[in-house]
Structure 1
């Protein structure tokens, strides 16, 4: 983005068509001089993660992890600094482009703390990929308000949702685990408002940056306990609801770590946050700056769950 020239833009989105599984420490990619690229519907480009941060033209990129190939479904402009989301989780930000395979495709380089592969992020073919402008770079005139205000239009329904939150707050499921579950479901659903909200709340509750950053790849991270892994697996299965629904093996693993009341609270936590995600995404609610979340007592149609 060029300050003073670039305004708001729509997101570029697509689907993963092939997952890649390897890393290299000597790849030798070369960063192109341009900071943005126009991409068209139907094009296929490669997603590559790196811990390099140098954005100068000609910079050599060696340490990389390969995520896969994305087919663009909604074209547009990808800029350096755009946030990259894949499979519902935030991956990192666009560093730039390598053209060693052009005109077949570009390598879209994504800055991350440590190079990651597709399996490490739990990616699979058909996973949604999005390139979104960072909230702070949207034009000052861009709306930060929802399309409609549910709290004012349907106060009884909104208060019913608040009632669910009040139940969860007194449920036997530990509060730190509830926040991890809410954050992971929000990542999967691509709800930027809820992702920022629950990351903010989890941090206030004592969660470390390392654990929060690792949540999107919790299966490959040593940061989570067996009980947390069981809860996160159930959260993902109940949020995605694939052809198998929630497999018996996933449920049985959760049941090995939680009693029936805790399992009931876990199911209700997943159901409630999925409802909030769908409300926020449908009404166009976007993330507020840090510390700018409103309490339930303000009838503004937002939530602090």
Structure 2
């Protein structure tokens, strides 16, 4: 696969703003494990090879088990995720695949049963950001693994 263009070079100011928002989310009310899981799930749904590759490697570096990484795609059937993670994954899927009817109240109430209002808000911003990254990387065919050295992802040992 060949990348179409380097959006960071073409639109450096906009790239930096999105990157700044991504970095701000590292200090959010949502723990790193959930960030990793939702980034992986949204990237799977959106078919973003670059982001999926990146976030699987990041999760591995953060200590995530390989089996749980394999189970993200089947999280509903898996017994490896706690209710809080399940709520975050359900919210991720709903926001990533918005339907004509919007987000059902039942889902919101289920998510609120596991996360505070602040956490739901921060989680929603994190989902928004990964969807933005997915869209730009899909649009410009960013090659999976092409930034491993720059982002330290070669340390994941998954090459």
Distance 1:156 1:199 in 2: 27
In structure 2, the residue matched to 1:294 is: 150
Distance 1:168 1:293 in 2: 23
**Alpha carbons 1:197, 1:293 under 8 Å: kept:** no
The structure that is helix-richer by fraction is 2
State the 1:283 CA deviation.
0.4
Distance 2:85 2:34 in 1: 7
Task: Confirm or deny that 1:188 pairs with 2:38.
Answer: no
Distance 2:104 2:149 in 1: 36
SS at match of 1:220: coil
**Higher RCO (Cα < 8 Å, 6 or more apart):** 2
SS at match of 2:76: helix
Counting only pairs closer than 5 Å after superposition, residues 1-305 of structure 1 correspond to structure 2 as 143=2, 146-288=3-145, 292-295=148-151
State the 1:243 CA deviation.
2.1
Over 6 Å off, 4+ runs: none
The structure that is strand-richer by fraction is 1
Compare CA radii of gyration and give the structure with the larger one: 1
**Alpha carbons 2:54, 2:148 under 8 Å: kept:** no
User: Structure 2 length as normaliser, TM-score?
Assistant: 0.90
State the 1:244 CA deviation.
2.1
Q: Number of residue pairs matched?
A: 152
SS at match of 2:151: coil
Distance 2:104 2:20 in 1: 30
State the 1:240 CA deviation.
0.4
1:255–1:151 Cα change, 3 Å: same
User: Structure 1 length as normaliser, TM-score?
Assistant: 0.48
Distance 1:168 1:267 in 2: 11
Which 5+ residue runs of structure 1 have no aligned equivalent?
1-141, 297-305
State the 1:147 CA deviation.
1.3
**Alpha carbons 1:194, 1:287 under 8 Å: kept:** yes
Distance 1:163 1:246 in 2: 28
State the 1:293 CA deviation.
4.7
Let me know the Cα RMSD of the aligned residues: 1.6
